[in-house]
Amino acid sequence: MSVLDEIVAGVRADLAVRQAEVSEAALRQRLADVSPALDPMPAFRAPGLSVIAEVKRRSPSKGDLAEIPDPAALAGAYAAGGAAAISVLTEQRRFSGSLADLEAVRAAVPTPLLRKDFMVTEYQVLEARAAGADLVLLIVAALDDATLRGLHDLARGLGMTVLVEVHDEPETERALAAGAQLVGVNARNLKTLEVHPEVFGQLVKVLPDDVVKVAESGISGVDDAARYAAEGADVVLVGEALVKDGDPTAAVAAMRSSGGGVR
């Protein structure tokens, strides 16, 4: 069993507990009280480099990264630095995240929010929107084509933006076939956790011009962000480098400016 398979198995087990506590019908009722989803795409498409700044306590590859006792305060620092969106890890077992973190950040900042998790069911998409998320992540490697398209269409129907993550050319073709307009190229192989920074430069060549391109993983600082921008990234998604930085506001601003223009 790969690392990704193990993570998804844990996600499904935790999901079953939440589903037993809150029905899908109850989630759908909550949607009536949630403000319309914010659209990050105009910012992502603007000249320069956008930053999706991540609230991330730990990872399977690096272990504990930062305690983050107040995710809302960290999100506020990211927003002050000009983050175009903020990603909040909600997976509990491997990343020490929760929906409570997402809700706390939603209450604190007006920035578009990404629920970063391993989405495998419609229930999770509804959870994300009910908690105030504006974007969801769909990982092609974790989904069959029917599920990928179904979750993509559900999220779009809820007014959300979908970040579709790929790792190789076949996955990229599947993402585009599902209608993806925001594609994240993850340099980290989720089956082995190894990072291959050259993957972005390879896959960006097969992505259409009208698709917004996001570079994920392997970004330890401004130089990496600038390299990805030079290779064609519109957006970088950064977690570890920001949560470990003593000045996340300045770090976000520096990464934005590294792309040849400030958004």
Single-letter amino acid code for the residue at 216: E
> Is 54 annotated as catalytic?
yes
> Is 194 annotated as catalytic?
no
Q: Given the residues 186, 189, 213, 240, select the one marked as catalytic.
A: 186
> Is 186 annotated as catalytic?
yes
> Which residue from 214, 166, 163 is spatially nearest to 189, judged by alpha carbons?
166
Conformation bin of residue 67: beta by default, left when phi > 0, alpha when psi is -120 to 50: alpha
Contacts 24+ apart (CB under 8 A), 20-27: 24/122, 24/123, 24/126, 27/123, 27/126, 27/127, 27/130
Q: Given the residues 50, 54, 59, 171, select the one marked as catalytic.
A: 54
> Is 87 annotated as catalytic?
no
Tell me which residue has tokens 């950064």: 238
3-state secondary structure 4-22: HHHHHHHHHHHHHHHHHHC
Q: Given the residues 50, 56, 59, 91, select the one marked as catalytic.
A: 56
Q: Given the residues 87, 98, 103, 116, select the one marked as catalytic.
A: 116
Q: Given the residues 91, 103, 127, 165, select the one marked as catalytic.
A: 165
Q: Given the residues 50, 98, 189, 217, select the one marked as catalytic.
A: 217
**Residues 168, 170, 174: CA angle, nearest 5 degrees:** 115
> Is 165 annotated as catalytic?
yes
Q: Given the residues 87, 216, 240, 258, select the one marked as catalytic.
A: 216
Catalytic residues: 54, 56, 116, 165, 186, 216-217
